[in-house]
Amino acid sequence: MNTRSGFQNLPLGSKRCVYCADPADTKDHTPPRCLLRRPLPVNLITLPACKKCNNGFSFHERAVRAFLTVVSVHPEMKTKRQQDGWLDKACGESRRLRKMIEVSRQPNGNYAVTGDLLSSFEQVFRKTAQGLFFALYHRVAPAELVQLIRLEDRRTITPDDVIAQIRPNALRDITDEPLSEISPHSWHTREPIIIVKFAPLSGGPPIQRAFRLVRETPVDWICLQQDIFSFAFVKCEDGGTACIFDLWKTLVVTVRTPWPDDRGPMRRGRKNPLSRDDSRRKKRRRSFVN
């Protein structure tokens, strides 16, 4: 699927910047190239953006790339941190970048994302989440509603673990809720009711509770580069949405975004890469894999 089809016939300036809502006079690629490997995918998503947002993240993107190079166990990243490799050249060109990486090194030899480096991560991943949100749902995610909430080591936690922690619990306690009308099309015909007995810690007769087992929508991962960059939008426990990034087998990044639409994130539509249409989904999977 050509993700640029919704923008290619629009003249520059006819759209608002998807990041700040100023008039768009350039086009920006998402995700940023700092998160990908070369050669870049030929079908990177193109979005309307203003010059300030398009060019104002360069240092932050380089800082994120440098940190990924320092901590990644991916073979390609290891070569970039060898002597006279990309990392040495980047730090040699920017004293600020070199200082940022040095400060992130802890006494035990590990690295931590704090201070200015954390600010760079927030800038880059908030922007990336905004861009992907607009590309998939054709909705602008205001910057004030987009927040970096989790940044974790891929060796200690998997993306599936993160999703399991932030998604709503599949069991809903309905013991004290009035029973809704039962019909051939009501939820009772699709979702089972589970009766559970609990033994009170203080003793006494068991307590009986009724739970509704709610079916969960499978997570649709979009892979731009295998083992390099994958992302998915999932619903959160409190009703919002989160964008999960799986990067270079190194980091799992979670960014909070607003709920895209009253009908949910899996809307049908010719321009939606996450359409429920099976044929379109197959095409989307082929087009996003590099």
> Is there a single domain that holds both residue 179 and residue 149?
no
Give the tens place of pLDDT for each residue, 114-166.
999 999 999 999 999 999 999 888 888 989 999 999 999 999 999 999 998 99
Q: Which two tokens stand for residue 15?
A: 């759209």
> Is there a single domain that holds both residue 32 and residue 153?
yes
pTM: 0.77
Parts of the chain with a pLDDT under 70: 1-14, 215-216, 261-290
> Is there a single domain that holds both residue 71 and residue 187?
no
Q: According to the model, what pLDDT value does residue 97 have?
A: 97
Domain count, the chain: 2
Domain that holds residue 256: 26-165+218-288
Residue 55 lies in a domain: yes
Rounded Cα gap, residues 32 and 41, in angstroms: 11
Residue 8 lies in a domain: no
Give the tens place of pLDDT for each residue, 261-272.
644 444 444 444
Handedness of CA 285, 264, 239, 130 (dihedral sign): positive
> Is there a single domain that holds both residue 146 and residue 239?
yes
Contacting residues for 251 by C-beta, under 8 A, at least 6 apart: 68, 151, 152, 153, 154, 245
Rounded Cα gap, residues 148 and 121, in angstroms: 8
Give the tens place of pLDDT for each residue, 167-186.
887 787 888 888 778 788 77
